[in-house]
């Protein structure tokens, strides 16, 4: 089908579902900096061979930091409003702690997707935190990235939906420490059923391809 790259005129407002909304520009630079440093910390912890004294001291420090941050927690389901140059009724929303793309999730790579004339495109480079087989990306994580890219294609080009079915073909190993190109698009819309597809490429070669059926949320 011809892909509609124009935002849908009417999108569901998460506030109508009782979900708080944070504008992307409202996320403090200090929080973004903390998220980036903890992202690096996760990698360091996963790979450290430091001596036990250093490990024990780090654990105490992190425990204290965790307690300090937990004094004020967001409501589950808090959404972030993206692309603020769009008109209010065409605004895009994502879950702020989304494991693949969440702005405030240090465990997320994060994957950012942008519109193209063909659909959506993003680039991401993964470290050993996302490792499955030695030197390769975990297959479940590959599925998660495709789910995100395919779900976003539906959300941005048609309407937000939930994944009813996802099929992944693993064509070639997906390497760590290598820029991965992720593309997705809407193939067909049939009432509330949106058929979407996408790929992951490394060095221009497809490593995984996915197709999914998204069921649009009502409203």
Ligand X SMILES: CCCCCCCCCCCC(=O)SCCNC(=O)CCNC(=O)[C@H](O)C(C)(C)COP(=O)(O)OP(=O)(O)OC[C@H]1O[C@@H](n2cnc3c(N)ncnc32)[C@H](O)[C@@H]1OP(=O)(O)O
Instruction: By CB under 6 A, name the binding residues for ligand X.
Output: 12, 14, 17, 93, 147, 151, 155, 160, 162-165, 191-193, 213, 215, 217
Which residue of the chain is nearest ligand X when measured via CB?
Answer: 151
Distance of closest approach, residue 76 Cβ to ligand X, in angstroms: 13
- In the complex with ligand X, the residue whose CB is nearer, 117 or 191, is 191
- In the complex with ligand X, the residue whose CB is nearer, 121 or 192, is 192
Instruction: Classify residue 207 as exposed, middle or buried by CB count within 10 Å of its CB (0-12, 13-18, 19+).
Output: buried
Question: Under 8 Å CB-to-CB from 206, ≥6 apart: which residues?
Answer: 171, 172, 199, 200
- In the complex with ligand X, the residue whose CB is nearer, 163 or 172, is 163
- State how far the Cα of 150 lies from the Cα of 201, in Å rounded to an integer: 15
CA 4, chain centre distance (Å): 22
- In the complex with ligand X, the residue whose CB is nearer, 148 or 207, is 148
Distance of closest approach, residue 219 Cβ to ligand X, in angstroms: 8
- In the complex with ligand X, the residue whose CB is nearer, 176 or 186, is 186
Distance of closest approach, residue 196 Cβ to ligand X, in angstroms: 10
Distance of closest approach, residue 181 Cβ to ligand X, in angstroms: 20
- State how far the Cα of 91 lies from the Cα of 116, in Å rounded to an integer: 17
Distance of closest approach, residue 167 Cβ to ligand X, in angstroms: 11
- In the complex with ligand X, the residue whose CB is nearer, 35 or 100, is 100
Distance of closest approach, residue 187 Cβ to ligand X, in angstroms: 15
């Amino acid at each position: 089908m011809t892909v509609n790259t124009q935002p849908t005129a009417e999108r569901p407002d998460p506030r109508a579902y009782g979900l708080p909304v944070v504008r992307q520009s409202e996320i403090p630079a200090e929080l973004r900096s903390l998220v980036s440093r903890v992202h690096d910390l996760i990698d360091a912890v996963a790979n450290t061979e430091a001596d036990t004294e250093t490990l024990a001291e780090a654990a105490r420090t992190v425990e204290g930091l965790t307690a300090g941050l937990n004094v004020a927690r967001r409501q589950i389901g808090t959404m972030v409003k993206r692309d603020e140059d769009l008109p209010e009724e065409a605004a895009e929303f994502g879950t702020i702690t989304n494991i693949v793309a969440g702005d405030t999730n240090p465990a997320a790579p994060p994957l950012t997707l942008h519109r193209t004339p063909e659909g959506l495109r993003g680039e991401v480079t993964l470290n050993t935190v996302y490792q499955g087989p030695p030197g390769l990306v975990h297959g479940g994580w590959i599925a998660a990235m495709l789910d995100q890219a395919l779900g976003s294609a539906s959300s941005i080009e048609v309407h937000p939906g939930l994944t009813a079915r996802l099929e992944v073909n693993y064509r070639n190993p997906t390497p760590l420490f290598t820029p991965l190109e992720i593309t997705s698009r809407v193939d067909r819309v049939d009432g509330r059923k949106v058929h979407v597809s996408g790929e992951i490429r490394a060095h221009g070669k497809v490593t995984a391809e996915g197709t999914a059926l998204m069921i649009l949320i009502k409203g």
